[in-house]
Amino acid sequence: MADTAAGILPANLGPIELPPGFPPLAEVAGTLFLGYMLNWGLYGVLGAQVYLYYLAFTDEPLSRRLLVYGVFLLESIQVFMLTDSGFKTFGYGFGSVLALDSIGTIWFSVPLMSALIAWIVQSFYAYRILKLTSSKLPAISILFFSTVGLAGGIATAVIGERKKLFHLFVGHNMTLTTGIWNASHALCDVIIAGYMVFHLSRLNTEWKATKDTANRLIRLVVETGTLTATLAIINAVLSGLPKHPTYFQVSSAILGKLYSNSMLVMLNSRIKIGRIGNNDTAVHTSNLLQQHGNQGVAVRAYRIQEEALTRAMDEPESGFQKPLEPNRKLPGSVEVMMKQEQSVV
C-alpha cells in the first residue's frame, strides 16, 4: 500500500504493515484523538473564564490584563495548531500509518508551548508570593525550577523536531527531557501551594470577610496546585513506561490548558454572584451587572478591600447606608488592616 501523508486507500486494501517498534494503531490514533478533543474542551472552558474576567475586571492593572489576554492568545495558537495537525492526521492522512506517526508541528504546539504557558503562570504566582510575603527566597525558588521545566520542554521539542516520527521520538533522551520538564513544574506547584497555604493560614485579621477569602484562596491553591502537579507527574510517568506506549500524548496535550485555567480560576474567584437587596455592602461594582426581569438577580464583582472598608466604616447590622466620602480620613488601625486586605487580593 502506498503510504503517504495524504494517503488514499486503494480498493484492494490488505494488511497494513507497521514499521518496527510501532505501537498498535488503535493506541496511536486513540491517544491523538483524545488529546485533540480534550484540548478543545478545556479551551472552551478557558474562553468562558476569560470572558468573565473581561466583564468583571475592567479596572485591573494593565500588566495583569496583558497577562491574561497573552496567555489566552498562546492557548488559541496552540489549539489551532493542534486542529491543523488533527486534520492532517485524520483528514488528509486518513488510513495512513505515516500520517499517524508523523510529528508535524506537534513538537512546537505541545511540549514547547505547554512548557512556556506553565512558566508564565508559575512566574505570575512567584510575583504574587513575593508581594504577599515580601520574601525573595520562595519567588526565586519558583522561578528557578519553572525555568528548568521550560528548558526541559524546549529540549523535548528539539528532539521531536529532529526525529520527525513518533516511533523514533520515544526513547531514553525523550524520557529524560520530559521528566525534567514535568518534574520541575510539579515541584513548582508544590512550592507555590505550600507557601500560599502557610502564609494565608497565618493571616492575622479581625474581619470575617478576609478570613473567608483566605480560606477560599487556600482551597483553590491546594485544589489547582494538586491537579496540575498530579497531571505533570502522570505525564512524566507515562513518557517513561516500558515499550514506550503513546498514552503520554493525552496528558501532554492538556497540560498547558490546565495551567492557564487554574490561573483564571484564581483571578475569577473574586467574582461573587448574589441578589441585589437593600443591604448591599459593595462600594464599587464593575461592569459585570446584569439584571434579569423581576427576579433582581445580578452578577457582581466585589473587591475584597472595598468590602472590608465598608464594613469598617459602617455598623455591621445596619449594612451599607451611604456612600463613602472620598476625602474622609481613615483611622490608623483601619489603614493597617486595609494593607492586609490588599495583600490577599
Contact by Cβ (8 Å): 202, 214? no
Residue type, 4: T
Euclidean distance between the first and final Cα of the chain, in Å? Answer: 62
Contact by Cβ (8 Å): 197, 222? yes
Phi and psi (nearest 5°) for 273? -105, 125
Phi and psi (nearest 5°) for 299? -110, 125
Residues whose CB falls within 8 Å of the CB of residue 345, separated by 6 or more in sequence, listed in order: 213, 270, 303, 304, 305
Quick one: CA dihedral 175, 178, 182, 185, positive or negative?
A: positive
Strands, E assignment, the chain:
271-275, 297-301
Cell of 188: 513548582
CATH architecture of structural domain 25-85+96-269: Up-down Bundle (1.20)
Between CA 79 and CA 6 the distance in angstroms is 22
- E strand or H helix at 118, and its extent? helix 113-133
How far CA 345 is from CA of 191, 278, 300, in Å, comes to 20, 26, 16
Tens-level pLDDT at each residue, the chain (345 residues): 444 444 444 444 445 566 666 667 888 899 999 999 999 999 999 999 999 999 999 888 999 999 999 999 999 999 999 999 999 999 998 888 888 889 999 999 999 999 999 999 999 999 988 887 778 898 999 999 999 999 999 999 999 999 998 888 887 788 899 999 999 999 999 999 888 888 777 766 666 666 777 777 778 888 888 899 999 999 999 988 888 888 999 999 999 999 999 999 989 988 877 654 444 443 333 444 343 333 333 334 334 444 443 333 333 333 333 333 444 444 443 343 444 444 444
Coil vs helix vs strand at 207: coil
pLDDT of residue 36: 95
Phi and psi (nearest 5°) for 301? -105, 110
Domain ranges of the chain: 25-85+96-269, 273-344
Give the predicted TM-score (pTM) of the model: 0.75
